[in-house]
Amino acid sequence: MKFVVLVKQVPDTNEVEVDEETGTIIREGVPSVLNAFDEFALNVAVDLKEKIDKEVEIIALSMGPPQAEEALNKCLAIGADRAILLTDKIFAGADTWATAVTLGRALKKIGEVDLIFAGQEASDGNTAQVGPEVAAHQGISQLTYVTEIEDFDPEVGEIICRKEIDEGHLMVKGDMPLLLACMPRPDFEPKIPNIREIMKAKKKRKETWSYEDLGGDEEDYGLEGSESVVIKTYSPPPKGEGIKIDEEPERAVEKLLRFLDEEGIL
Q: Are strands 82-86 and 205-209 parallel, antiparallel or unpaired?
A: parallel
Rank residues 24 and 194 by Cβ distance to another protein and give the closer one. Answer: 194
Task: Give the Cα separation of 71 and 76 in Å (integer).
Answer: 9
C-beta of 2 vs 8, nearer to another protein: 8
Give the residue among 192, 184, 190, 189 at the shortest CA–CA distance from 148: 184
Sign of CA dihedral 3, 9, 15, 16: negative
* Least Cβ distance, residue 189 to another protein (angstroms): 7
Complex with another protein: residue 36 or 160, whichever CB lies closer: 36
Q: In angstroms, rounded to a whole number, what is the distance separating the alpha carbons of residues 84 and 105?
A: 13
Q: How many residues bind another protein, per CB under 8 A?
A: 17
Listed residue (148, 219, 135) closest to 179, CA to CA: 135
> Could you say which of 156, 165, 192, 265 contacts another protein (CB under 8 A)?
192
Q: Restricting to residues 45-74, which ones interact with another protein according to CB under 8 A?
A: 69-70, 73-74
Q: Report yes or no: 255 and 245 within 8 Å, Cβ to Cβ.
A: yes
Which one of residues 193, 209, 211, 221 is an interface residue with another protein (CB under 8 A)?
A: 193
Q: Which stretch binds another protein (CB under 8 A): 16-24, 197-205, 221-229, 248-256?
A: 197-205
195 binds another protein (CB under 8 A): yes
- Residues in contact with another protein by the rule CB under 8 A: 69-70, 73-74, 77, 189-190, 192-199, 201-202
